[in-house]
Amino acid sequence: MVFEKKLKTIDDPILEFDSSEHKSTDPINGLENWDPNKLPDLECIRVSAICQSQYVNVLKQFWDHLRNGYNGNRYVPYLGFRESFAAPITDILSTVNPDVKSGDIDTRFAASVRDIGSSADIVFVVLPYDFPQEAMTMYNEIKAASFQSKTKTQCIRRNILGRVGSPDHAIDLWNIGVGIFTKVGGTPWVLSDRMSDVGCFVGLVTDSVKRGTQTVSDKAGICEVVDNYGSHVIWAKEELPSLSFAKEEGRTVREIDKKETTKMIESCLEKYCRQRLGSNYHDRMNLLSDKLVVFHLTDDFSKGVLETMEKAITDFGLERYQIIHLKQDTPYRLYSNESNDMTPLRGTVFEVNDKNAVLYTHGKREYHRGTVHNVYTRNKRGIKPIGVEILKENKGVPIYETCKHVINLTGLCWYTTDIEMKMPVTIKIARRLGMLWKRGVLSDFADVRYVL
């Protein structure tokens, strides 16, 4: 069914580096033109690498391009790390070859990260897998090791090294350059136009650790918070021993004890307020009293849990709030007459009613690289919209504005130039924290950059 007249389009967010004046819809184009001197100087970044012996030579060529620049792609020139980010970076000081160590390959790589420890500012890890599933398993092991040793890591799959000289090589260099810059203290990206009506966004996911096939040994609610333009990120975790599943109106929902639900909401908001707004309660409430606080959920919760969340928010002193359910899979597809190749346009939204909408966070988008106008999409096949539903609210914003918030937050992945995430950064990082928590990383940490 086509609702041609009711389809609306939300523009891509305009992004910039924190504390800089450059603005650009396309991060790569913006990185070509921003003034790196707007940011304070950073000390020289010390780099070590973990790489199997057969990839060392191509790694050296890749690193030479990363440091000194690459002009092989005339549409997307990469200027070099120091020229782009106003920070000097060393050549690779040492390369650890995990081939010579005993044990399985994932364990060997993680052990190498712990061995390097604080002797390097960044450990550059070439994952020995090309397939995402295998690479992600090792990635999680490496990130868990980086938590324990306080070592920041930049991981790439080995097929990235094989793209040296290809049209994608310059974009790979930009992505990795942004990632390294972020982990040593820089802050890309933020929104040029702050969502001034909003105080903060909270992404909330629940997770559990299973031992064997039956016993669940631990359950937790993990929150990740972003302010109204993306510069400040914190996280919180609360144990949820009562987490269980129940049937409600023919669907499976999550049930949580009232006290645990309340503690989870209060813990998250309290941590954000103390870090961002100060320790004085009245001062904090003055700053947040007229601001909207938005909660993003991807799990299905029971009505009782949602009511408890709502009460915890109001008891905290917040007058304006929205609890939004983001549904990853929907049966709907949206097309317009302008979509000749049937590839949907990112940002297309259909308002089903006042509380529900269908939104494309993937799809084609138009932008400029240099002077050339291109159409870009990561994948033309299988692009599906997400569902956006307002579950609870008080003095909220219309569903169209809610969808605009979601599109803005899909552009705020700090460590990449890709602004086409399917889910907002609140959910993306909360899920990643959940995966790492399963690997026994239970201690709190202050800097979310270890996750990236």
Residue 137: its pLDDT value, please? 84
- Is it the case that residue 430 has pLDDT exceeding 50? yes
CATH code of the domain containing 288: 3.30.420.10
Residue 308: its pLDDT value, please? 97
Same domain, 179 and 194: no
- Is it the case that residue 442 has pLDDT exceeding 70? no
More confident residue, 218 or 182: 182
Residue ending a domain, among 142, 165, 183, is 183
In this prediction, residue 1 has a pLDDT band, given cuts at 50, 70 and 90, of very low
Same domain, 330 and 398: yes
Asked whether residue 305 is domain-assigned, the answer is yes
Which among 358, 356, 362 is positioned nearest to 398, based on CA atoms? 356
More confident residue, 404 or 25: 404
Average pLDDT, the chain: 82
- Write out pLDDT tens, residues 145-154: 888 788 899 9
Amino acid at 41: D
- Write out pLDDT tens, residues 161-213: 988 888 789 889 999 999 998 888 887 788 888 888 898 899 999 988 776 66
Find where tokens 């950059």 sit.
449
Same domain, 131 and 207: no
- Is it the case that residue 214 has pLDDT exceeding 60? no
Give the residue-averaged pLDDT of 337-352: 76
CATH code of the domain containing 168: 3.40.50.2300
- Is it the case that residue 284 has pLDDT exceeding 70? no
Strands 348-351 and 356-359: antiparallel
> What DSSP assignment string belongs to 232-259?
-EEEEEEE-TT-EEEEETTEEEEE--HH
Give residues with Cβ within 8 angstroms of 351, minimum separation 6.
Answer: 6, 8, 357, 399, 400
pLDDT above 90: percentage of residues in the chain: 35
Asked whether residue 11 is domain-assigned, the answer is no
Same domain, 302 and 202: yes
Same domain, 222 and 268: yes
Distances (CA, A) of 27 to 87, 156, 301, 369: 19, 20, 36, 10
Same domain, 194 and 321: yes
Residue ending a domain, among 183, 198, 221, is 183
- Is it the case that residue 444 has pLDDT exceeding 60? no
**Calpha distance 277→270 (Å, rounded):** 10
Quick one: residue 278, left, alpha or beta (phi over 0 = left, psi -120 to 50 = alpha)? left
Same domain, 405 and 374: yes
Residue 39: its pLDDT value, please? 59
**Calpha distance 334→345 (Å, rounded):** 9
Asked whether residue 24 is domain-assigned, the answer is no
Residue ending a domain, among 168, 183, 198, is 183
> What DSSP assignment string belongs to 122-134?
EEEEEES--SHHH
In this prediction, residue 339 has a pLDDT band, given cuts at 50, 70 and 90, of low
In terms of residue numbers, what domain contains 421?
A: 190-450
Same domain, 289 and 222: yes
Residue 374: its pLDDT value, please? 45
Same domain, 46 and 176: yes
Same domain, 219 and 133: no
Residue 337: its pLDDT value, please? 56
- Write out pLDDT tens, residues 158-173: 889 988 888 789 889 9
- Is it the case that residue 90 has pLDDT exceeding 50? yes
Same domain, 140 and 85: yes
Asked whether residue 10 is domain-assigned, the answer is no
Residue 373: its pLDDT value, please? 41
Give the residue-averaged pLDDT of 289-293: 85
Give the residue-averaged pLDDT of 275-303: 80
Residue 370: its pLDDT value, please? 40
